[in-house]
């Protein structure tokens, strides 16, 4: 798979087969990536209420019990303390054609302060929605984040051959407009493990 360079990214954008909307300034389009901004919704852990998330247990199997959503305004501060993981999202809504996949990567400018942007970084062809970002501060000092800052970059790669039935509507995280709670329990493996005891 080859990485799309600026010229091809622009071509896809102009043809509206790849949608990244809105791009507030053309400077977001780099040599082989598009910078994306931080959205204003976050999911944080309610560590003060629940000590454990155990999808196989009987007490807390629903992610929304151990996490809660926060919404702040564009330009307001969100403090990310060392050792804390939160879920954020891109401000831009992304729609990938069936012949492109995309990698989400942090920006090195932020990484130098200890901000890790993603842990699950591949977005499949046909995806539509804002991209949920797993943000964690592995540095030693708190970081101030602001919705609207350029937080990550999208790197596009050709998918060969193009996928015939890309990212169907019933997929877990399609058409999201904010960070999504984990839907681990939708995995068929999880259901099998939850119901049965192995011999």
* Of 122, 127, 129, 131, residue with least CA distance to 168: 127
**Binding positions for other proteins, 45-84, rule CB under 8 A:** 69-76
Binding mask 117-136 for other proteins (x = CB under 8 A): -----------x-x------
CB 16 to other proteins: min, Å: 5
Angle (CA) 72-78-80 rounded to 5° is 145
26 binds other proteins, rule: CB under 8 A: yes
Exactly one of 3, 61, 95, 121 binds other proteins (CB under 8 A); which one? 95
* Of 31, 5, 25, 157, residue with least CA distance to 96: 157
134 catalytic per annotation: yes
* Of 24, 70, 30, 26, residue with least CA distance to 46: 70
42 binds other proteins, rule: CB under 8 A: no
Give the integer Cα–Cα distance in Å for 35 and 187.
Answer: 31
Site residues, other proteins (CB under 8 A): 10, 13-14, 16, 18-27, 69-76, 91, 93, 95, 128, 130, 148, 174-175, 177
Active site residues: 134
């Amino acid at each position: 798979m080859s990485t799309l360079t600026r010229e091809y990214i622009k071509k896809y954008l102009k043809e509206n087969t790849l949608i990244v909307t809105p791009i507030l300034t053309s400077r977001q389009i780099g040599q082989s990536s598009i910078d994306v901004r931080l959205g204003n919704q976050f999911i944080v852990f309610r560590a003060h209420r629940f000590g454990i998330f155990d999808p196989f247990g009987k007490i807390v199997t629903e992610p929304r019990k151990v996490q809660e959503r926060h919404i702040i305004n564009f330009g307001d501060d969100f403090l990310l303390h060392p050792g804390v993981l939160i879920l954020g999202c891109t401000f831009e809504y992304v729609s990938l054609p069936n012949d492109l996949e995309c990698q989400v990567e942090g920006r090195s400018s932020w990484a130098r302060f200890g901000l890790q942007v993603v842990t699950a970084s591949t977005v499949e062809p046909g995806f539509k929605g804002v991209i949920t970002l797993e943000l964690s501060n592995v540095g030693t000092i708190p970081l101030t984040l602001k919705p609207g800052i350029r937080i990550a970059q999208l790197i596009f790669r050709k998918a060969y051959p193009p996928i015939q039935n890309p990212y169907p509507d019933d997929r877990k995280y399609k058409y999201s407009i904010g960070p999504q709670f984990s839907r681990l329990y939708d995995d068929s493996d999880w259901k099998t493990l939850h119901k049965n005891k192995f011999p």
